[in-house]
Structure 1
Amino acid sequence: MRKRTSTRKHHVLMVAAECRDIATAGGLGDVVRELSKAIHRRGILVSIAMPYYGVVTKSAVSLGKFKVPFGNRSWEVEWFRCTLDGATIYLLRKREFFDGRNKTVYIHSRQHPFEDDGRRFAFFSSAVLAFIQQYAQLRSVDTLHCHDWHTGALFTLLKYDPRYKDLSERVRTVFTIHNLEYQGVRPFSSRIRRRWFAFSDWFPSLYPSLKASGAIHDLRNPKPPLRWFNPMRAAVQLSDHVNTVSPSYALELTRADNPKLNFSGGRGLEHDIARRKRQRRFHGILNGLDHAIHTPSTLRPAFDVTMPGWEKIRMQHKYALIQQLPSKITQFQQAGRLPTWNAKELTTQLSTYHVSEWVARPLVIMVTRAADQKIKMLMEKHHGKPLLEHILHRDLSLLILATGERERILSNIVNLHPNAIFICAFERTLARRIYAAGDLFLMPSDFEPCGISQLISMRYGCLPLVHGIGGLQDTVDHNTTGFVFTGNTRARTRQALLETLDAALHRFIHDRRRWRQMQRQAMQARFDWTASIEQYLALYFDS
């Protein structure tokens, strides 16, 4: 790699599957958007390359077409350009891969995991490299910052495909792990005759050379299925620097999984990650939060910790949300924004809904994904019944806004209790109102690379109650800005959640002075991008 100098004009190209306000499905899109904005504010040229999904609604200008090698043929890809907060967004459109039945950010392949997304993002990886070489304005790129497994094939091509030899020698590469749980594993080759089913179908000329050279060994999945391509591992092995999104999660990834404790560590990649750490090539950099976007000062009525009487204004938001929740749910039902089963359940729930009772109780909230990572602990049996049942038997109200693969399981418990409501939907405006109204934000994740929900909840004065792992451990200060529970066995962890919840409820009811002090401290906490950007710039440009 060439030595970076301080006098030249740098150009960072982000390569990602998501970017907020273009197309996103989770926290990855938030980070790509806010990190690129922060880099631009430092006077550095930053661009983002991502697929032009069929769901994209932002206006973008078509500026031409270019050729992409994939499979046994050359494809013509149309490219579009728009801007966001000073960053140039390049949207690469190929309808076969990113429109029609493939129009959403991710596809849930029912028969073979990652079958659809594996080939879609392999094509995208090839398209990005071809675009860089064919578009003159991207020849100034000196840093490629790639995100999650979706870009693993890019690193493989950049390292081993002779077409990209010159490019590989002039750019520095950084790879960010946002969630190691998803690795995009696909077969290297297969007897199954389905279109672009395996790595050898995507890159038929590269596959034999990888086998002959032995390079294929470092790209293989380290656990069964062993003979499969692991794009996450490829990126970890081949990038100049690897980072993940919090220091504690970085440490966890160097350790093996422990199923008895439900501990998620390196998910089979712990030896690779530990080796990169010994090489000083693996880093934990905490995600930031854009406090200008996530602020209660733009609500109506506005409040913030610096405003006199903010406590009373915040209480107005709690009362308004609880009072207006039935009409909001009815709007969702009438607009068809709820699954039929959830709409029916909520009709039953609202028949016994009493505003005065909900206002009087502590309001515990969850704005989350209904996925094992986020809610598995709540579903586990504790003294003969699900942990969530124990929570709901406390004198509290629980409001959950979520969608995901475990939504029915979650709803089957929540919507049977008069003090709880589960809304199977997501809307940013409603989520913001819930943050502003909640007293406690429950986040019992089994693993959490960084987490953004707890940062937002603190900003709005809703104290987080979190499992002390990953980024939650790095961002929530127990008894100062929130509540943290841990345990050295799974049963003790569940019990610790209940005990910590009881302590928090006791403080809310009996020590409001201390509670408000904690709210102030939480609202004053800052997790901006300033320190994190310095660490990223060191990875980008330091020799």
Structure 2
Amino acid sequence: MTFSAPAAPTVHVASEVFPFSRTGGLADVLGALPAAQAAAGDAVMVVSPWYQDLADAGRVQQLGALAVDGVSEVRLGHERRGGVDYLFLGMEVFERSGLYHPDDVQRFSAFGRAVLPALHHLDIRPRVLHGHDWQAGLAVAHAHLSGLPTVCTVHNLQYQGRWNIHEAAGWTGLPDWAFQPDFAEFHGDLNLLKAGLVFADRVTTVSPTYAQEITTPQYGEGLEGVLQRLTAEGRLRGILNGLDLDRWNPRRDPYVMNYSGLRGKSSNRRRLRQEFGFDRAPVLGTVSRLADQKGMDLLLMALPQLVKNWNVVILGGGDPLLEAAFQGWNLHPRVAFVSGLNEALAHRIYAGADAFAMPSRFEPCGLSQMIALRYGTLPVVRETGGLKDTVSPSVGFTFGPATSQALLDACGEALAARRDKADWERRVREGMSLNFSWDASAQAYRDLYAEVLAGR
């Protein structure tokens, strides 16, 4: 198989992309947005690391190698599927198991330096370079400095790629003037996300509400001043993520008893109850990282009261203290905690639970609430970020304060609604009818690219 360079593609740069590499929602976005743009007729490429785990799968066509200043040899791999070209950059820093490690600032500095040389080596001339999160921040900076139109998307502002600037400056290949507060310096550190933000022509977040929230001290993670300036300049906006409707489709989902309405939903509920030995009380599910951001400690504190009226099934991993605490609840007949990632079980929870808990302290967008709605499982969510943008109180159940009592109150509202069969079924039908496809989001990004190009 030979490689033919796409003409003037939109080039997405990201640390993970489904189905090749994945730890969370970033990979899902990179698996869906480029495909939606390609389906609309665009030339689209995704550039991502050639991780050892991906390389071992033997799925990628090798395209040779090149030398990059300040970086070890860069091997190039390619695959094309669904109308999208995927370019993988293999380097010594990625020759270990797993995606992320303590020295990631150095690893993704090498990756960011290699993106443009790799594209030039293959005679690929991007129409726009679109970087995602801090791991792509340096690629955005170098692209801007080389004259390319650029977009930088923040999927989670909490993670910024910081390192002592005196040690890290030499990793970046940036000019000396870039290491000052107006550019890549942040309180004595190199900040790769800040580099992407300040150099990008446009900055986006993955929901409109999150774009507003991050300009405040409560959510700005120390970068609210930069983001306020971007807002004033018209360079910051929120574009809501979509959902991969082929992957998340209860009518064709290979992991569940397929259904399109309330009757099929009840069959999956019965199966989930049987799987965990639950009684006939309603089932509250969650699929989540166990992290402070996700408010899983609030769910833990609420459990003693929740189990009086709910069966609760939790799938996730992360904070070892939270994991141990949830594990201890497995002795309770109305609680099931399963540690780690389990794709099949996640689908069964979405299909079989009555309600779905997301008590996030902040949520840039969130996909789980969209999946839950599509599967007829009503979300119980905190009013923040993308949760506020996607869950109407007329369909799901929302609360404001980040407290266990507020979560309990919202679950109480859900319980009351479930006792009213007509109200519950109306909510379920309305939720299942919502359209979260990537089409509108993909078009919004295409319009944004056109705006950037017109400005040049």
Cα distance in 2 for residues equivalent to 1:477 and 1:276: 29
Query: What is aligned with 1:331?
Result: none
2:398 to 480, 484, 494: 484
| AA aligned opposite 1:188 | I
Q: Say if 1:390 and 1:527 are closer, same or farther in 2 by CA, change over 3 A.
A: same
Cα distance in 2 for residues equivalent to 1:414 and 1:467: 24
- Is structure 2 residue 169 aligned with structure 1 residue 200? yes
CA 158–46 in structure 1, closer or farther in 2 if over 3 Å, else same? closer
- Structure 1 323/494 Cα, relative in aligned 2: closer, same or farther at 3 Å? closer
Q: Helix, strand or coil: the match of 1:504?
A: helix
Unaligned runs of 5+ in 1: 1-8, 110-115, 160-164, 190-197, 258-264, 305-309, 326-354, 381-385
The structural deviation recorded for 1:408 is 2.5
Residue of structure 2 equivalent to 1:24: 22
Deviation digits for residues 475-527 of structure 1, max 9, x if unmatched? Answer: 001132x111113xx5xx4332211211211221x211211111000100111
Aligned residue for 1:78?
75
- Aligned position for 1:89: 86
CA contact 2:215–2:225 (8 Å) conserved in 1: yes
Q: Hey, what's the Cα distance between the residues in 2 that align with 1:515 and 1:58?
A: 48
Aligned ranges 1:372-451 → 2 under 5 Å:
372-378=292-298, 386-392=301-307, 394-406=308-320, 407-412=322-327, 414-451=329-366
Letter in 2 for 1:35: L
**Matched letter for residue 49 of structure 1:** V
Equivalent residue, structure 1, for 2:424: 515
Deviation at residue 405 of structure 1 after TM alignment:
2.1
Tell me whether 1:185 sits opposite 2:162 in the alignment: yes
1:38 alignment partner in structure 2? 36
What is aligned with 2:3? Answer: none
- Write the distance in 2 (CA, Å) between the matches of 1:58 and 1:214: 39
The letter for the 2-side match of 1:216 is Q
- Residue 406 of structure 2 corresponds to 496
Q: Counterpart of 2:52 in structure 1: which amino acid?
A: G
Between Structure 1 and Structure 2, whose CA radius of gyration is higher?
A: 1
Question: Displacement, 1:324?
Answer: 3.2
Q: Distance in 2 between matches of 1:149 and 1:16?
A: 9
Deviations 1:33-81, CA, capped at 9 Å, x for gaps? 10000110111100011001011126111111111112xxx53211111
User: Residue 259 of structure 2 aligns to a residue in which SS?
Assistant: coil
Find the residue that maps to 1:78 and give its secondary structure: strand
Between the aligned partners of 1:233 and 1:320, the Cα distance in structure 2 is 48
Residue from 162, 174, 183 that aligns with 2:151: 174
CA contact (8 A) 1:450 1:471 kept: yes
Q: Name the amino acid aligned to 2:237.
A: H
Written as runs of structure 1 = structure 2, the 5 A alignment for 1:98-109 is 98-100=94-96, 103-107=97-101, 109=102
Q: Which segment is superposed worse, 295-304 or 44-53?
A: 295-304
Deviation at 1:157, TM superposition (A): 3.4
Shift of 1:413: 5.1
Structure 1 stretches of 4+ moved >6 Å: none
CA distance in 2, matches of 1:45, 1:220: 31
Residues 145, 173 of structure 1: 8 Å contact kept: yes
AA partner of residue 20 (structure 2): I
1:142 aligns with 2:142: no
> What one-letter code is carried by the residue in structure 2 that aligns with 1:506?
A
After superposition, what is the alpha-carbon deviation per residue over 1:265-302, rounded to whole angstroms, capped at 9, x for unaligned? Answer: 11111111111111111010000012222111014642
Assess if the C-alpha contact under 8 Å between 2:315 and 2:337 holds in 1. Answer: yes
* 8 A contact 1:15–1:144 mirrored in 2: yes
**Residues 106-117 of structure 1 aligned to structure 2 (within 5 Å):** 106-107=100-101, 109=102, 116-117=103-104
Alignment partner, residue 201 of structure 2: 240
User: Does residue 1:275 correspond to 2:229, yes or no?
Assistant: yes
TM-score (norm 1): 0.78
Structure 1 residues 12-42: Cα deviation after superposition (integer angstroms, max 9, x where no partner): 0110001011001100001011000011011
2:53 aligned counterpart, secondary structure: coil
Quote how far apart the aligned CAs of 1:412 are.
4.8
**Alignment of structure 1 residues 347-366 onto 2, 5 Å:** 355=277, 358-366=278-286
SS in 2 for 1:411: helix
Please state how far the C-alpha of 1:217 moved relative to its aligned partner.
2.3
In 1: Cα distance, 2:414 partner to 2:58 partner: 43
Distance 1:444 1:404, change over 3 A: same
1:46–1:419: structure 2 CA closer, same or farther, 3 Å change rule?
Answer: same
Amino acid at match of 1:172: P
* CA shift in 2, pair 1:58/1:278, >3 Å: farther
Q: Rate the CA distance shift 1:369–1:176 in 2: closer, same or farther, 3 A.
A: same
Alignment map for 1:451-470 (pairs within 5 Å): 451-470=366-385
Indicate the larger mover: 227-236 or 55-64: 55-64
1:97 maps to amino acid: V
Q: Secondary structure at the match of 2:45?
A: strand
Equivalent in the alignment of 2:449: 540
Give the conservation status (yes or no) of the 8 Å contact 1:318–1:359: no
Over residues 323-355 of structure 1, what are the superposed CA-to-partner deviations in whole Å (9 max), with x where a residue is unaligned? Answer: 234xxxxxxxxxxxxxxxxxxxxxxxxxxxxx3
Residue pair 2:363, 2:384 contacting (<8 A) in 1 also: yes
Matched with 1:324 is 275
Output the amino acid matched with 1:369. Answer: R
Letter in structure 2 aligned against 1:253: I
Cα distance in structure 2, aligned partners of 1:185 and 1:174? 20
1:16–1:375 CA distance, 2 compared to 1 (3 A): same
Work out the CA distance in 1 between the residues paired with 2:58 and 2:305: 45
- Out of 446-455 and 397-406, give the one that drifted further: 397-406
**Contact 2:68/2:117, CA 8 A, preserved across alignment:** yes
Judged with a 3 Å threshold, the aligned counterparts in structure 2 of structure 1 residues 188 and 506 are, in CA distance, closer, same or farther, namely same
| Contact 1:370/1:410, CA 8 A, preserved across alignment | no
Name the CA shift for 1:64/1:238 in 2 (closer, same or farther; >3 Å). same
For structure 2, the 5+ residue unaligned runs are 1-6
Q: 2:13 is aligned with what amino acid?
A: V
Aligned equivalent of 1:525, options 411, 418, 434: 434
